[in-house]
């Protein structure tokens, strides 16, 4: 084997680089770098917006904030690592390999958990609006978000416990970052982070959709003549339904981006799949972190207004946090 084909030319036990032309490598590097930068900047804008403007300190936006934090970590840490692994060479050692894999699994679990919490939030807001303010409080939402992150951390620490005992034992050559999970634990993880949560999400959103349709019909029927109080109630229902629609798009996009990843992990246990396929499904899942803030920008006027204020440095002025951007 030629020395320039090895990750480390001075080691005969080094892994082999992936064979790509210079033009192909340059184009893919530039594309992935742009996606990474876009993911970091857009999610940082979401975080700053919700954190800075007091008007955005709602229970629903707290869930959006948690999701934006996980998406930001994807862009800030996971995407650069995947770019580093683009040539198939890992040079940062076994410990960092374990840390990166732990963070990747953590972010996936947290994102799934956030999607479940968002679905529950919209279910209560649409299907049980009279009890929303009493059932869904800031403290309860904060507790649920903390439990989501803590459970994900413990769950993925348990999955990677064998790796930490003997890092690098599954590597076939120097310059490879490999983590292996046995079939039983993999099946358990598949149920906990995919089948179970997505079943809950689908059931809740089907119920939300049915109630939203009935609300829309009722609002059209009463639109001709309503009292002021009724008009306020109808406006509130429209607002909740619009929020449900927006967050429903977020959930659907997440399902579309993450489903190939889970299908790949199941297929990978039964057959030999190309590394290119693994890269594709991983980047498709990471791409979801770039799409979420774009969805907010398209559907949420408050996000567009907050971006304008942040970019023009109006947030540095005294009292800017009290601005009306809804």
The CATH number for 137's domain is: 1.20.1070.10
SS3 6: strand
* Average pLDDT estimate for 63-86: 88
Confidence of residue 251 (pLDDT cuts 50, 70, 90): confident
SS3 172: coil
Q: Do the Cβ atoms of 164 and 171 come closer than 8 Å?
A: no
DSSP one-letter code for 317: S
Task: Give 9-52 pLDDT, tens digit per residue.
Answer: 666 666 777 777 778 778 888 998 999 999 999 999 999 999 98
Q: What domain range is 146 assigned to?
A: 3-322
Q: Do the Cβ atoms of 141 and 59 come closer than 8 Å?
A: yes
In angstroms, the CA 288 to CA 42 distance is 12
Which residue blocks in 227-274 are alpha helix, DSSP H? 228-268
Q: Do the Cβ atoms of 132 and 236 come closer than 8 Å?
A: no
Q: In terms of Cα–Cα distance, which of 258, 208, 248 is closest to 118? A: 248
Within 8 A by CB and 6+ apart from 242, the residues are 299
23 to 6, 20, 26, 29: CA distances (angstroms)? 20, 8, 5, 10
Q: What is the pLDDT of residue 68?
A: 92
Task: Give 309-326 pLDDT, tens digit per residue.
Answer: 888 888 888 888 887 787
Which region holds residue 117: left if phi is over 0, alpha if psi is between -120 and 50, else beta? alpha
Q: Which tokens in the block code for residue 230? A: 């009724």
Task: Give 198-217 pLDDT, tens digit per residue.
Answer: 888 888 888 887 777 776 66
Q: What is the pLDDT of residue 13?
A: 66
Residue 288's φ and ψ, nearest 5 degrees, are: -55, -35
Query: Is the whole-model pTM more than 0.85?
Result: no
SS3 212: helix
Domain total of the chain: 1
């Amino acid at each position: 084997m030629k020395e320039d084909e090895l990750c480390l030319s001075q080691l005969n036990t080094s892994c082999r680089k992936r064979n790509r032309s210079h033009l192909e490598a340059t184009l893919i590097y530039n594309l992935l770098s742009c996606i990474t930068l876009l993911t970091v900047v857009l999610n940082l804008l979401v975080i700053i917006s919700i954190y800075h403007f007091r008007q955005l300190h709602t229970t629903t936006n707290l869930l959006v904030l948690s999701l934006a934090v996980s998406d930001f970590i994807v862009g800030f840490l996971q995407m650069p690592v995947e770019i580093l692994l683009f040539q198939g060479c890992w040079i940062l050692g076994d410990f960092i390999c374990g840390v990166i894999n732990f963070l990747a699994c953590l972010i996936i679990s947290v994102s799934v958990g956030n999607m479940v919490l968002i679905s529950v939030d919209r279910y209560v807001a649409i299907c049980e609006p009279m009890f929303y303010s009493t059932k869904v409080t800031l403290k309860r939402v904060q507790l649920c978000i903390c439990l989501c992150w803590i459970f994900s951390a413990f769950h993925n620490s348990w999955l990677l416990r064998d790796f930490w005992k003997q890092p690098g034992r599954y590597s076939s050559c120097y310059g490879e970052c490999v983590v292996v999970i046995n079939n039983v634990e993999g099946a358990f993880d598949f149920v906990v982070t995919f089948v179970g949560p997505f079943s809950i999400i689908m059931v809740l959103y089907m119920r939300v959709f049915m109630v939203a349709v009935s609300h829309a019909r009722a609002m059209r029927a009463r639109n001709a003549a309503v009292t002021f109080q009724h008009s306020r109630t109808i406006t509130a229902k429209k607002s909740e339904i619009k929020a449900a629609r927006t967050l429903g798009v977020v959930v659907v996009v997440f399902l579309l981006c993450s489903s190939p990843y889970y299908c790949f992990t199941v297929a990978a246990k039964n057959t030999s799949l190309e590394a290119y396929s693994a890269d594709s499904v991983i980047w498709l899942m990471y791409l979801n972190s770039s799409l979420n803030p774009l969805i907010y920008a398209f559907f949420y006027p408050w996000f567009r207004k907050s971006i304008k204020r942040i970019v023009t440095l109006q947030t540095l002025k005294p009292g800017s946090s009290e601005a009306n951007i809804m």
